[in-house]
Every structure is written in C-alpha cells, then in structure tokens.
Amino acid sequence: MSPLAALLLFIISFMVVAMLFKMPVSYALGLSSLLVLAFSGKSVVTVAQYSFSGIDSFALLAIPFYIFAGCLMEYSGISRMLINWIKSLVGRVRGATGIITTCACMAFGVLTGSAMATISAIGKIMAPEMEKDNYPRGYISALLAATCFLGILIPPSVPGIMFALVSGAKISEVWMATIGPAFIFAVGYFVINYFRVGRLEKKPEKISASLGQHASEIGRNTLKAFPALLMPIIIYGCIYGGICTVTEAGALSAVYGILYFVIVKATKKFDVKISLWQCCAVAGASTATIGLLNAFSTVAGKAMTLTGISNFLSNAITSNISSKVLFLIMLNVLFLFMGTFMDINATVLIMTPLLLPVAQTYGITAIHFGTIMLVNMCVGFLTPPFAVGIFVSSKIANASFGETVKEAIPFMFVGLIAIIVTTAFPGYVNFFVNLFT
C-alpha cells in the first residue's frame, strides 16, 4: 500500500469510527492504526508493545497528579475565595463584574488547568452576578466561553505536558511559552468588556475610604484566599526554584490538595458536596482517558512511520511550500479548523509527530510550534460550528446558541490577534520562556 493510500485509509476510518459510531477518540485512533498496519502488510503483534511504551514515562506521572489536585480544588469551594480576592483588587470600576470573571477564570485555571472545570465552577457563580448587573445573557455566555480556556494557556497545563512529552521539549518551557498569548487574550477581553458593557454603566459612587482601609480589605481577602494562592506558590516555587521536577511538584500539589480538602470537609461539611473517594473517581476517569490517548497515539505514530506516511507528508509539504510564511499560515488554518471539532489532547498527540519535524526544517522551534498549536486549539473552543465552550456556557447562562455566537464575534477577533502575534513574533513567546526558565 502506498503512503497516500495509507494516509487516506487512516483519515477516513478514523472519521467514520469516531463520528459515525460515536466511539471515543482513543479507541478510534487504535482501530484506525490497526487497519493501516494490517492492510500495509505490517505485523500487528507489536501494537501492545507500542501502547505500553506510550505510557511508560516518568514525566507522564505529572498528569494524574495535576488532574487530581485540580479536582480537589474544584470541589472544595475555592472558587468563591478567588472571586472575593480578585473583587477586592479590581475595586469599583465600570464593567467590574466582567473583569472579575476574566481574572477569576485565569486564576482558577492555574489551579485546575481544565477549561470545562473553569467554566463550570466560575460560571455558576459569576453568571448570576453578571445578570444582576444587567449584562445581556448572550454576552454572559460568550464571555464565559471565551475565558474558560485561559487555564490551558496558564500553567500548569495538561495539554502543555502532552506536547512536551511528544516533542521532547521541556515541560517548564512549554508552560511559560503560552503565558504571553494568555495576556493578549486577557487585555483584549478587558477592552471588549468596557466598550460592550462598562461604558454603558453609571459611574460608581465614590466611597470615602482611606488608602489604609482599602489596603486592609485587600489584606483580609488575601489572607482568606491564601489556601488557594498557596497551590501555585508550591508548583512554581518548587519547579522554577530548582527544588524539584515538574512531576514531583505535581505530587506535592496533590498532597496539599488532599490535606486542604480533608480539612474543609471536616470543618465545613455542607459546603463540600462530594467525598474524597468521589474526587478520586472523577480524577481517575480523566486520567484514564488521557492515558488511553497516549497509548493509542503512540501506535498511530508508529503506524505512520512504518507505512511511510510521515516521510510522504514531509516531502509533499516541503516540495510544494517553499516559504516559511506560507507554512505558518497553513499551520494556523489547520490547527484552528481542528480546534473546532477535535479534542485538544488528541490533536497534540496526533499532529505533533507528523508536522513538528517538517516545521523544524523551516527553522521553527518546538516551543514556537507548540505555542501556535495550543493557542489555535484554544480559540477553537469558541469557534462554531462545534464550539464546545459555547455549548457549555449557553446552558450555564441560559442563553441561545445564536445569541452567544453573535456576542462571541469580538472575542474571536481577539483570538485571531493572539494567533497572529504568536505566529509572527516568536521573540514575544520566548521572552516569557527566558524570563522564568
């Protein structure tokens, strides 16, 4: 079988199995890989060995640790602490509720690294607050969908770990590379929030409070939010202070999460509606999904290598695209399109082995390539027709899909700006990498 025929068989069988039969992505990957190997006359006996090698990694242990720690933080009622703390910092400005929502999603993402956990925890608290301040429901839904994925760009990030494992890059460098684009999103959202809602609000009445009183309030809220703030201190302090590895920092964060959860559960029984064992089950299910993706994506990578698909794609791209600029445009269009319907972890595992070697022939580093991929996939959360973020946020805000998409258009433009800056200015991305690593 020719490499082109093998590639077409892989794509068609994957799409049919995954979409028509609604099979999980990991199983669809494994089945498509088996078909390609079988029809190419390759041995399928080694599939089990390839699958095991895909999860036989010490660095991979970081994923269950961070997922478990994030799950414990999510269900321990820590989101309200973060919101109150950010509210004391933002103060009384026009459009403050929208700004607080954006900052809260960024802060909560630091703890969980999950877009869906962020939109659920923050959205359920802030959606009623924004509705009280007369924010349109469609705008509430669009803002939540646009901010939920910021936790993926701000470390710790599970997709960042996945990319580092596949590409061979350092996890800490991949994490830092996406901080720059996250700031672009945040600033853009603040501007949109002001012009869409803030400028229409009445100017808040002045409160006769001294600077000392304001500082005292911030101090009280910081003290109350300290249990939440301690988690990133542990993670970043240990990693970038050279105390331990990313995986070991994940283990420490999980231990801290368990201690905090147990204390809160014992002292505030009615505030925590889930048991520790249920948290373990939720985190275990997420970890198992990612573990299967890793195992079967390794099989897919081996199948593409053995059947010559990787070399075929590399030669096809380099012979038809002579310009680095055109290649970067192709990457962005491809990843943005895939982000609208593909799981971000699956895309990272499938596309990185195929396209990273080609990108490096154009002088694109692994860190720059990974940042482009992750930023595009995040914008895909907000981009129709599938737009997972919009589907979830519209239910939380009780808004229609059409209303949300209409209000989300300005946020999509911010996403395009972030993509352009990330692609055209690798120095901006590397600035944060060099600053923290």
What would the mean pLDDT of 12-29 be, rounded to a whole number?
Answer: 78
Which comes out higher in pLDDT, residue 202 or 75?
A: 75
How many Cα neighbours within 13 Å face the side chain of 408? 28
Q: How far apart are CA 38 and CA 380, in angstroms?
A: 34
Amino acid 113: pLDDT? 65
Of 79, 89, 162, 166, which Cα lies nearest the Cα of 120?
A: 79
For 278-281, the CB contacts below 8 A with 24+ separation are 279/68, 279/71, 279/72, 279/75, 280/68
Per the CB < 8 A criterion, the answer to whether 317 and 358 are in contact is yes
Of 234, 263, 229, 261, which Cα lies nearest the Cα of 250?
A: 234
Which comes out higher in pLDDT, residue 57 or 185?
A: 185
Least confident of 239-248, 269-278, 402-411: 269-278
Give residue 192's pLDDT band: very low, low, confident or very high (50, 70, 90): very high
Amino acid 425: pLDDT? 93
Q: How far apart are CA 123 and CA 336, in angstroms?
A: 25
What would the mean pLDDT of 6-19 be, rounded to a whole number?
Answer: 79
Per the CB < 8 A criterion, the answer to whether 367 and 179 are in contact is no
Q: In angstroms, what CA-CA distances link 160 with 156, 167, 356, 411, 422?
A: 8, 10, 15, 23, 16
Give residue 13's pLDDT band: very low, low, confident or very high (50, 70, 90): confident
Q: Which amino acid is at 126?
A: M
- Whether the pLDDT of residue 209 is over 70: the answer is no
Per the CB < 8 A criterion, the answer to whether 127 and 168 are in contact is no
Within 10 A of 128 (CB to CB), how many other CB atoms are there?
Answer: 12
Which comes out higher in pLDDT, residue 210 or 234?
A: 234
Amino acid 56: pLDDT? 78
Least confident of 24-33, 198-207, 346-355: 198-207
Q: Which amino acid is at 205?
A: E
Q: What is the CA radius of gyration of the chain?
A: 22
Q: How far apart are CA 262 and CA 246, in angstroms?
A: 24
Taking the model in full, what pTM does it have?
Answer: 0.82
Report angle CA 354, 358, 362 to the nearest 5 degrees: 155
In the numeric block, which tokens belong to residue 287?
A: 């970890």
What would the mean pLDDT of 237-255 be, rounded to a whole number?
Answer: 83
Per the CB < 8 A criterion, the answer to whether 181 and 256 are in contact is no
Which comes out higher in pLDDT, residue 326 or 319?
A: 326
Amino acid 301: pLDDT? 79
Q: Report the mean per-residue pLDDT for the chain.
A: 82
Residue range 51-107, pLDDT digits in tens: 887 787 777 788 888 888 878 877 777 777 777 777 777 766 777 888 888 888 887
- Whether the pLDDT of residue 417 is over 90: the answer is yes
Give residue 203's pLDDT band: very low, low, confident or very high (50, 70, 90): low
Q: How far apart are CA 220 and CA 84, in angstroms?
A: 10
Amino acid 185: pLDDT? 93
How many Cα neighbours within 13 Å face the side chain of 178? 33
Give residue 416's pLDDT band: very low, low, confident or very high (50, 70, 90): very high
Residues 6+ apart with CB under 8 A from 430: 177, 367, 368
Amino acid 428: pLDDT? 92
Amino acid 73: pLDDT? 77
Highest mean predicted confidence (pLDDT) among 130-134, 209-213, 394-398, 425-429: 425-429
Q: How far apart are CA 377 and CA 371, in angstroms?
A: 10
DSSP secondary structure letters along 338-393: HHTTS-HHHHHHHHHHHHHHHHHHTT--HHHHHHHHHHHHHHHTTSTTT-HHHHHH
Give residue 414's pLDDT band: very low, low, confident or very high (50, 70, 90): very high
- Whether the pLDDT of residue 232 is over 70: the answer is yes
Q: How far apart are CA 342 and CA 156, in angstroms?
A: 21
Give residue 261's pLDDT band: very low, low, confident or very high (50, 70, 90): confident
Least confident of 26-35, 82-91, 166-175: 82-91
